[in-house]
Amino acid sequence: MGTRGRGRSTGGSRRVTITTVAKAAEVSVATVSRVVRNHPDVKDTTRERVMQAIEELGFRPSPLARALVSGHSATLGLIVRDMASPFYPELAKVVEHEAGRQGLTVLICGTADDPEVSGNCVRRMLDQRIGAIIHASVGLDEEELVAEVGDQAPVVFVNRRPRMRDASFVVVDNRLGARRLTEHLLAQGHRRIGFIGGPAWASNAAERRAGFLDAMRDLGPGCESLVSDGDFRLDSGRARAHSLLSRDGRRPTALIGVDDLVAIGAMEAALERGLGVPEDVAIAGFDDTQFASSRLIGLTSVAPHIDQMGRAAVRTAMRLSQQGRRRPIREVIEPSLVVRRSSAAAGRRISAAAGRRSSAAPGRASG
């Protein structure tokens, strides 16, 4: 603290390398290296001496040199679709925080689900001998991705269930989430429900949609399901909602957005048409993002527990990169339903604690 150097480093203080430490501790660089890496084959007294030298000199090993020689660095690559879409920054925050706690650095990259951007991104990461890739985008065909990566780094898919065998992933049970949400809406008396979906290639969108349709079939005999696919953007949600809500006489009384942003687009559309939410049309989304939880919006949403997902992703990535990734690690998180004003018929079915993370998944969940 308070080095008070005048900008230029203070004359003599050359950079502290492993060699410096070796000399100070009167051992070879190999031994210092062992100590730093916690290799067992070091006598306790030696270890002590080296540790002290490290401490005194303020030695910090160069991740660069380390990565160059060992072939992989303590760096995580996080690939997202769009940092500006509310789900991703929340995920990024958790991942970065968790990674930081483990001393890992996080490289970030936003593809716009453009395979080319995505490819560049992955290549740049591999060139850095990245330790593991956390892939939370949905675009690039995963075959290509995995082929490109080969065995250069383990890949963890997040929020997306890859089609291929032996891939590792951390996802939320989207079908279950959709089912619970649908169940909730049916219980509210809705008989005509619209689903505003995502692009065909997005597996999580497909799962949510399928979950909705299955639930309608199983639980809402005689009810009508309307599906309209768009992409993940707000404007798409709005446009699709407008079109669904314009069916005179037969318009849906409830709308589900494939994610919160789309649902918010739908809310905007309702507003623009002079429809009250939830009186005229109930609306719900997926992801339980900050946006949804604001009382100004009060959007009912399926919570994938982003923090849990993020932490699991980092843990998985670390395990894979350590254990030589013998076999895939898969994790499925149970979603919960957070009911808010946008779908609360009586205006007060919101669970007592209106706080953000309150889970309201009831016991009556289907089997």
Partner DNA sequence: GTGAAAGCGCTAACAT
Partner DNA sequence: ATGTTAGCGCTTTCAC
The nearest distance, CB 57 to DNA, in angstroms, is 11
Applying CB under 8 A, the span of 23-31, 32-40, 244-252, 294-302 interacting with a copy of itself comes to: 294-302
Residue 103 binds which of a copy of itself, DNA, none (CB < 5-8 A, kind-dependent): a copy of itself
Decide: is 30 part of the binding site for DNA (CB under 7 A). Answer: yes
Residue 33 binds which of a copy of itself, DNA, none (CB < 5-8 A, kind-dependent): DNA
Decide: is 248 part of the binding site for a copy of itself (CB under 8 A). Answer: no
Decide: is 127 part of the binding site for a copy of itself (CB under 8 A). Answer: yes
The site string for DNA over 34-63 (x = CB under 7 A, - otherwise) reads x-xx--xxxx-xxx-----------xxxx-
Applying CB under 8 A, the span of 31-39, 92-100, 212-220, 225-233 interacting with a copy of itself comes to: 92-100
Decide: is 243 part of the binding site for DNA (CB under 7 A). Answer: no
The burial of 37, by beta-carbon neighbours within 10 Å (0-12 exposed, 13-18 middle, 19 or more buried), is given as: exposed
Residue 219 binds which of a copy of itself, DNA, none (CB < 5-8 A, kind-dependent): none
Three-state secondary structure readout of the chain: CCCCCCCCCCCCCCCCCHHHHHHHHCCCHHHHHHHHCCCCCCCHHHHHHHHHHHHHHCCCCCHHHHHHHHCCCCEEEEEECCCCCCHHHHHHHHHHHHHHHCCCEEEEEECCCCHHHHHHHHHHHHHCCCCEEEEECCCCCHHHHHHHHCCCCCEEEECCCCCCCCCEEEEECHHHHHHHHHHHHHHCCCCEEEEEECCCCCHHHHHHHHHHHHHHHHHCCCCEEEEEECCCCHHHHHHHHHHHHCCCCCCCCEEEECCHHHHHHHHHHHHHCCCCCCCCCEEEEECCCHHHHCCCCCCEEEECCHHHHHHHHHHHHHHHHHCCCCCCCEEEECCEEECCHHHCCCCCCCCCCCCCCCCCCCCCCCC
Residue 128 binds which of a copy of itself, DNA, none (CB < 5-8 A, kind-dependent): a copy of itself
Decide: is 128 part of the binding site for a copy of itself (CB under 8 A). Answer: yes
Applying CB under 8 A, the span of 37-45, 61-69, 181-189, 248-256 interacting with a copy of itself comes to: 61-69
The nearest distance, CB 271 to a copy of itself, in angstroms, is 6
The site string for a copy of itself over 253-292 (x = CB under 8 A, - otherwise) reads -----------x--xx--xx-----------------xx-
Residue 18 binds which of a copy of itself, DNA, none (CB < 5-8 A, kind-dependent): DNA
**Number of neighbours of residue 234 by Cβ within 10 angstroms:** 20
Residue whose CB is less far from DNA, 61 or 199: 61
The burial of 227, by beta-carbon neighbours within 10 Å (0-12 exposed, 13-18 middle, 19 or more buried), is given as: middle
What is the contact surface with a copy of itself in residues (CB under 8 A)?
A: 3-5, 7-9, 60-65, 67-68, 73, 82-84, 88-90, 92-93, 96-97, 100, 103, 105-110, 117, 120-121, 123-125, 127-129, 147, 150-151, 234, 264, 267-268, 271-272, 290-291, 294-297
What is the contact surface with DNA in residues (CB under 7 A)?
A: 15, 17-19, 26-31, 33-34, 36-37, 40-43, 45-47, 59-62, 65-66, 68-70
